[in-house]
Amino acid sequence: MKKKLTELFADFNAISIIGMSKNAGKTTVLGKLIDEWAESGMKVGLTSIGRDGEDVDIVTGTEKPRIFVTKDTIIATAADLLKKSDITKEVLKTTGINTPMGEVVFVKARSDGYVQIGGSSIGSQIVKLLEDFKELGADKVLVDGAISRKTLSSPVITDATILCSGASLSSDMVQVVKETAFAAKLLTLKPICDNNVLRLIDQLPDNAGKIVGIEEDYRFSPVSLDNPHNGNRSAAYIYIRGAVSDSFANKFIMSNINLRGVTIIVEDGSKLFITEKTFEKFNLGNAKIAVRRSINLIAVTINPVSVRGFSFDKDAFREALKKELKIPIYNVLD
Amino acid sequence: MFLRDEQKDAIGLTFILNEILPDSPYSDIRTRNAKFYRADEKQELLDEFYNISQILACVEADGDCIAALRRALMPFKNIDNILKKLERSYLHEIEFFDLKGFMLSLGKLKGAFSDANIRLMDVEFIDMEEALNILDPDSKRMAPFYLNEQYSEELWDVRKEKSRIERLIHEEKDKGKLEELKTKRTFIVAKEDEAETVVKKMLSEKLCEFLPVFRSNINAIGKLDFTIQKAILAKKYNAVCPDIEEDSVEFVEMLNPEVEAVLKERGKSFTPISIKLSAGTTLLTGANMGGKSVAVKTAVLNICLCHMGFFVFAKRAKIPIFDGIYLISEDMQSLEDGLSTFGAEIMSFNSIARQAEKEYLFIALDEFARSTNPEEGAVVVRAVSRFLNTLKSISIITTHYDNIAEGNFGQYQVAGLKNLDFENLAKEIENSTSTSKGIDLIAAHMDYRLIPVSGKNEPPRDALNICRLLGTPHQIMNAIEEGYINNTPKI
């Protein structure tokens, strides 16, 4: 008998679940975890990092599935979304965290039912929510995470992360495997271990700019995309704050910043929105990419069925991914 | 309001208001639209002072009881919008939760208030147990809220049915039957929603009766919070309760906390200011570095604070209740009208002068007409002084123009460098190496106290003395001294 998905997370309290695309099976995974834990008598909490999109997926026309929770689950969601939930609600706590969809509130499900979850997208607020969950008695907290340039938060604030992938990403299985493996690679980039550098980054003032160079002797050096003097000498590290889009990364590579032997530090793997090709360019330029904080990716789930009506061979799909990844792979439909 | 925002900044009122960090959301509203007490509200003002003194006495006796009160004020959330909604519509779970939270917090505050054993005028908390029972039928007195099945039979039945179906769904393996059950559940959910709405309307209607009680309690919370903040401020700066007396303003050793803070940063201290101002005009003259502006702004600040029900920053103070407090100062600009500074001053003065015919005002003119040419300026200041001297209103005018005081005015002069040993200071300056040292030394020896002047007085010669001390070349010095002897500045 195969290990249950929940067993992988026995040692973790806060688990984030992120999807490669819509309909990648994230909702199914959430539902499965809630169900399994509830059955074993655990109190489960559920919230989300921001909300990724609209009720209805514009591309496929499929309704964004609501998450089915069992009785006694505690959810933290925006007030307006609570109205779209059909559980019998008991309001436990208000948070003072305001979103465009109303204040985030803690609600206990007094019955089973469907809920819609939308919370804060600000890291410090999610951290506060996680503390509140603990106080309210939740044994496990699931964070529905969106990877998006718009979210300020990231899976870093949870103890463990699941990546969900599936046939909805592309009709070409090879392509899905490739993209999923690359996403996992970015998420699990190694953290920088030089504590002096980490401390320097922690102390950076808010107005320090997007790119900051750090010299061999731990001094900051000014680096910017359009500074003609960048090329004179190279910094040991270059820290890039916030999201790194593919076009930004390419501008960065094409600029006169000397990248040879440089370690580029990004906040964490979820902040990188670059293609594999761009990633390769950094390697060719002899630059290394490292992260400030690492993400603890524990498993990848796959959904071999696409909402657009086709599906992959589930065993072939799993085997192909297994070759690329060293972490457990789960088929959500099994 | 009597002063514009930039004037509030200039006199140091903004600095004071920013020091107030209320514990509840209700005091905040009160600070922003801080009440200005009028002459016919003297009793309320005295009550407010009484309240502050009661809290101060309590702080002196046992600081912890105020800390407990403040902690009890902190959990309150602003429910104004919920109450407004309750007036015209019905509420939802989260809003009920917030009202329940308010009433639970109120219960704790009420307890802390009676433990503190403070008697305050016009601060009273009305019991809300009856209203709380509406939202807490089990009398658990815990924060969570849900639409209890006990509220209605329909709700009881539909919830029971919902839970039965959900158990069946859990156990059902057959896909077709499962779908059937799920459809059934959808209907029940809709019925539950209907039953809940009926309950929500019923609860809202019941709570509506308590709207005046909610509002009265909110008022009391805000008032208590604000008064505590005023007392904390008074304690911090050793402020005193002013005597509310008609006809004259009198301060003994008053302070301006903002100026004091700035001076402290530079390693200097604030010289307390004592002054008495009676009906009509009082002139304040003295050297340019002498702090005339600070004196006037400090007076305006403390008079304003008194009218807002604050203790004042002085050892002793007598203040009448004015119908208006006005300040015209050099840093006032009228950019929007494109007027010159002088033009703007005159415009403001004209409207104040008209108002002063009907009302009892405090008028402060700081270096009035300084931006126009000195001869005309002096003429204008003298005319304005004479006009204001005919009124019952109290005016203070600072000026560096000499010979204004040829009327029957009150007059003060900044002591300045008058009583100084010039030879010693000159030596000190000579021995110092840095270029700005001279200025610093003069500032250090400047006597900022206000000295009452009676009758005709020698015009101040501080400008001459400053030139001498700062080593102005001999030829120029000689020429200046000659000028003083031959042509004592006259208008």
- Tens digits of residue pLDDT in B200-236: 999 999 999 999 999 999 999 999 999 999 999 999 9
Cα-Cα end-to-end distance for chain A: 12
CA-to-CA distance for B254 and B232, rounded, in angstroms?
18
Q: Are strands B410-416 and B394-398 parallel, antiparallel or unpaired?
A: unpaired
Q: Is A112 on the interface with B (CB under 8 A)?
A: yes
pLDDT, position A147: 60
Mention every residue, 6+ apart, whose C-beta is less than 8 A from residue B365: B328, B349, B384, B395, B396, B397, B398
Which DSSP string do the residues of B86-129 spell out, in sequence order?
Answer: HHHS---HHHHHHHHHHHHHHHHHHHHHHHHT---TT--PPP-H
Residue of A nearest to B168 (CA): A112
Cα–Cα distance, B193 to B126 (Å, whole number): 34
> What are the φ/ψ torsions at residue A316 (nearest 5 degrees)?
-60, -40
Contacts of B43 (CB under 8 A, 6+ apart): none
The three-class DSSP label of residue B409 is: coil
- Please give the residue that has the higher pLDDT: either A100 or B79: B79
Rounded Cα distance, B428 and A291, in Å: 62
Bridging pattern class, strands B243-244 and B316-319 = parallel
Tell me the angle at which helices B175-208 and B93-116 cross, rounded to the nearest 10 degrees: 40
**How far away is chain B from the Cα of A86, in angstroms, using its nearest Cα?**
7
Pairwise CA distance, residues B387 & B357, whole Å: 11
Q: Give Cα B115 to chain centroid, integer Å.
A: 29
Q: Would the pTM of this model clear 0.90, i.e. be above it? A: no
Q: Which residues contact B95 (CB under 8 A, 6 or more apart)?
A: B82, B85, B86
Q: How far apart are CA B144 and CA B94, in angstroms?
A: 10
Q: Give CA–CA dist A165/A168, Å, rounded.
A: 8
Flag whether residue B162 sits within 8 Å of chain A, measured between CB atoms. Answer: yes
User: Under an 8 A CB cutoff, do B93 and A91 touch?
Assistant: yes
- How far is Cα A266 from Cα A191, in angstroms, rounded to an integer? 9
What element of type H or E holds A283? helix A276-284
Nearest chain A Cα distance for residue B227, angstroms: 26
State how far the Cα of B106 lies from the Cα of B103, in Å rounded to an integer.
Answer: 5
Confidence at B410, pLDDT banded by 50, 70, 90: confident
Q: Given this model, what pLDDT does residue B400 score?
A: 76
For chain B, the farthest-separated pair of C-alpha atoms sits apart, in whole angstroms, at: 118
Does residue B170 carry a pLDDT above 60?
Answer: yes
CA B169 vs CA A87, A132, B192: distances in Å: 15, 32, 18
Task: Kindly give, in sequence order, each residue whose CB lies less than 8 Å from that of residue B282, ignoring residues fewer than 6 positions away.
Answer: B275, B394, B395, B396, B397, B409, B410, B411, B412
Residues A5, B139: Cα–Cα separation, whole Å: 42
8 Å CB contact of A79 and B94:
yes
Res B348 pLDDT > 70: yes
Q: Which residues on chain A are in Cβ contact (under 8 Å) with B92?
A: 83
A interface test, pick of B76, B92, B94 with most A CB neighbours within 10 Å: B94
pLDDT of residue B107: 96
Do the Cβ atoms of B159 and A90 come within 8 Å?
A: no
CA–CA distance, B404 with B391 (Å, rounded to integer): 18
Asked if the C-beta of B159 comes within 8 angstroms of chain A's C-beta atoms, the answer is yes
Compute φ and ψ for A191, nearest 5 degrees. -75, 155
Asked if the Cβ–Cβ distance from B77 to A94 is below 8 Å, we say yes
Residue A67 to residue A26: CA distance in whole angstroms? 10
**β partners of residue B363:** B326, B395
C-alpha span between A97 and A277 (Å, rounded)? 40
Q: How far apart are the first and last CA of chain B?
A: 38
CB neighbour list of residue B424: distance below 8 Å, 6 or more residues apart:
none
Distances (CA, A) of B294 to A248, B256, B334: 55, 8, 22
Give the A:B interface size as CB pairs under 8 Å. Answer: 45
Three-class SS state of A239: strand
B146 to A103: CB separation less than 8 angstroms, yes or no: no
Distances (CA, A) of A225 to A7, A230, A242: 47, 8, 16
Higher-pLDDT residue of A188, B463: A188
Report whether pLDDT(B81) > 90.
yes
SS3 of residue A68 by DSSP: strand
User: Are B362 and B303 a contacting pair, CB within 8 Å?
Assistant: yes
Tens-digit pLDDT profile for residues B356-384 = 989 999 999 998 888 778 888 888 888 99
Q: How far is CA B89 from the centre of its chain?
A: 37
Q: Which structure tokens are listed for A177?
A: 């495997």
Identify the CA nearest to B94 among candidates A103, A120, A69. Answer: A103
Residue closest to B17 by CA, chosen among B315, B311, B230, B325: B230
| CB-count exposure of residue B476 (10 Å: 0-12, 13-18, 19+) | exposed
Quick one: pLDDT at residue B26? 86
pLDDT above 90 as % of chain B: 56
Residue B158 scores a pLDDT above 90: yes
DSSP B408: S
Residue B335: the pLDDT is: 46
* pLDDT of res. A111: 94
> In chain A, which residues have their Cβ closer than 8 Å to the Cβ of B77?
94, 96
In which residue are the tokens 């005091």 written? B27
Distance from CA of B176 to the nearest CA of A (A): 19
Cα distance between residue B339 and residue B377, in whole Å: 17
**Is it the case that residue B187 has pLDDT exceeding 90?**
yes
d(CA B61, CA A48): 50
- ipTM attached to this prediction: 0.80
Window A:298-317, CB contacts with B under 8 Å: none
pLDDT at B438: 67
Question: Is residue A75 a contact partner of residue A115, using CB atoms and an 8 Å limit?
Answer: yes
Q: Which long-range contacts (CB under 8 A, 24 or more apart) does A61-67 make?
A: A62/A23, A62/A307, A64/A22, A65/A27, A66/A27, A66/A114, A66/A115, A66/A116, A67/A27, A67/A30, A67/A31, A67/A34, A67/A114, A67/A115, A67/A116, A67/A117, A67/A144
Does A113 lie at the interface with B, CB-CB under 8 angstroms?
yes
Residue from the list A90, A93, A94 with its beta carbon closest to the beta carbon of B146: A90
Ranges of residues in chain A with a pLDDT under 50 are: 1, 52-62
Instruction: Pull the structure tokens for residue B340.
Output: 């010159």
What distance in Å separates the CA atoms of residue A265 and residue A263, rounded to the nearest whole number? 6
For residues A17 and A30, is the Cβ–Cβ distance under 8 A? Answer: yes
Structure confidence at residue A61 (pLDDT)? 47
A134 touches chain B (CB under 8 A): no
Q: Tell me: the pLDDT tens digits for B16-31?
A: 999 998 999 887 666 6
Task: Look at residue B436 in the predicted model and tell me its pLDDT.
Answer: 61
B142 to chain A: closest CA residue: A92
* Chain mean position to CA A268: 10
| Residue range B39-77, pLDDT digits in tens | 999 999 999 999 999 999 998 888 788 999 999 999 999
Contact indicator for A170, A179 with CB cutoff of 8 Å: yes
Identify the H or E element spanning A202: helix A195-202
Q: How far apart are CA B62 and CA A19, in angstroms?
A: 58
User: Closest by alpha carbon to A50, among A73, A16, A93?
Assistant: A16
Q: Phi and psi of A222, rounded to 5°?
A: -70, 130
Residues B228-273: tens digit of each pLDDT: 999 999 999 999 999 999 889 999 999 999 999 998 998 888 899 9
